Amino acid sequence: MKSRVIGLAMALLFVASLPAVAQKVVVDYAWKEGTPAKNPLNNTRILNAIDKELAAKGFMKVDPEQNPDLLVLYHAAVDVETQINTVNMGGYYGWYGGYYGGGGGTSTTYVDKIPVGTLRVDIGDVKNKKLLWQGKATDTMSDKPEKIEKTINKAAEKMFKNFPPDLKKKK
């Protein structure tokens, strides 16, 4: 009888401790206005890509009015790099019958304007009013929507690979 009471008491203690053992901590975040992409479709693509990465890390998106733990904002910019290429066509030089000479030819120079997009993501601690993390990605931009979306998703995936930072390593 005494062993039954002890066994029951231990079972009750175990059940009572379950909520503490199974406790799950959720960190939530909300979006704050940054510098959105000029193209509304790219803006949506960027928001979706970042939301997906944060959700995969266990973060929960909430409305800003719900006092989130973190604020997330992004800045998008597009610069244009100029690439100059010169192509020489024809022309010859050499010894011909005891004489050194050369003949015409043409060269054409091409100037290409290459759009380069930059995406920077800032994540701040609301309570301490402090920047916690910043990620940045830069890549050339395509004219094709499916390639743009793929590039944005790939950039977000790489950017958030080491997020959240391991604060234990920094100490």
Per-residue pLDDT tens over the stretch 87-123? 877 666 666 666 766 666 788 888 889 889 999 999 9
For position 150, what pLDDT does the model report?
96
**Residue extents of the structural domains in the chain:** 25-76+116-162
**In this structure, what token pair is assigned to residue 145?**
């929507």
Per-residue pLDDT band for 28 (boundaries 50, 70, 90) equals confident
For position 26, what pLDDT does the model report?
62
For position 96, what pLDDT does the model report?
65
Q: Is 73 exposed, middle or buried (0-12, 13-18, 19+ CB in 10 A)?
A: middle
For position 117, what pLDDT does the model report?
92
DSSP-derived 3-state class of residue 118:
strand
Q: What does the DSSP assignment read for 124-149?
A: EETTTTEEEEEEEEEEE--SSHHHHH
CATH superfamily, with its number, for domain 25-76+116-162: Lipoprotein like domain (3.30.160.150)
